[in-house]
Structure 1
Amino acid sequence: MDPDTVFVMGLFIAIFSVPSMVSAWSDGHVPRVASVVAILGGAMMVWAHSQKVGGYSFDEIPDLIVKVAGKFI
């Protein structure tokens, strides 16, 4: 997989782990699985950032999401 796809996948994995964390905290549980998933998403983004020359800027992320979504559609 190319770094762009891995970055976007990691971004969405990390974002979708947040509701699971909130749900676990509100139920009085420790969000173990959600924390592992968030770390996995962050690691995917860090790996993709290290593989692309110059990395990613915050301005590029919306265009990157559209570009990756366009590849799959």
Structure 2
Amino acid sequence: MGTDLPLIAGLAIAGFSVPSVLSAFSEQRPPRASAAAILIAIGLITYAVLMKPGGYRVDEIPDAFFRVLGRLL
């Protein structure tokens, strides 16, 4: 689970930042917090992909999600 947690956390942060970006653009204000969240998400995902030997394939992401969920519960 060493690299699964950063991958899933990065994907979750990226997913939650999308509504924030859309809200900022619709209200015509700069998306500063959203940009920071996206940068953090990119960093976490990049770390996870680079530290896992062979990287991640798209079909491995659900398995990683359930491994992390199972470990937390």
Instruction: State TM-score, norm by structure 1.
Output: 0.94
Alignment pair present for 1:48 and 2:48:
yes
Deviation at 1:32?
1.1
State the SS of the aligned residue for 2:30.
coil
SS in 2 for 1:55: coil
Which residue of structure 2 lines up, in the alignment, with residue 69 of structure 1?
Answer: 69
Q: 1:11 is aligned with what amino acid? A: L
For 2:67 and 2:3, locate their aligned partners in 1 and report how far apart those are by CA, in whole Å: 12
1:52 and 1:63 mapped to 2: Cα distance? 15
Residue 14 of structure 1 deviates from its aligned partner by 0.9
What corresponds to 1:39 in structure 2? 39
Aligned-residue identity in percent: 38
Segments ≥4 residues shifted beyond 6 Å:
none
* Aligned residue identity for 1:34: S
- In structure 2, list runs of 5 or more residues that go unmatched: none
- Residue identity opposite 1:65 in structure 2: F
Aligned residue identity for 1:21: V
C-alpha displacement at 1:19, in angstroms? 0.5
Q: TM-score, normalised by structure 2?
A: 0.94
Aligned pair count? 73
Question: What amino acid is the match of 1:57?
Answer: R
For the residues of structure 2 that align with 1:14 and 1:39, how far apart are their CA atoms? 9
Corresponding position of 1:17 = 17
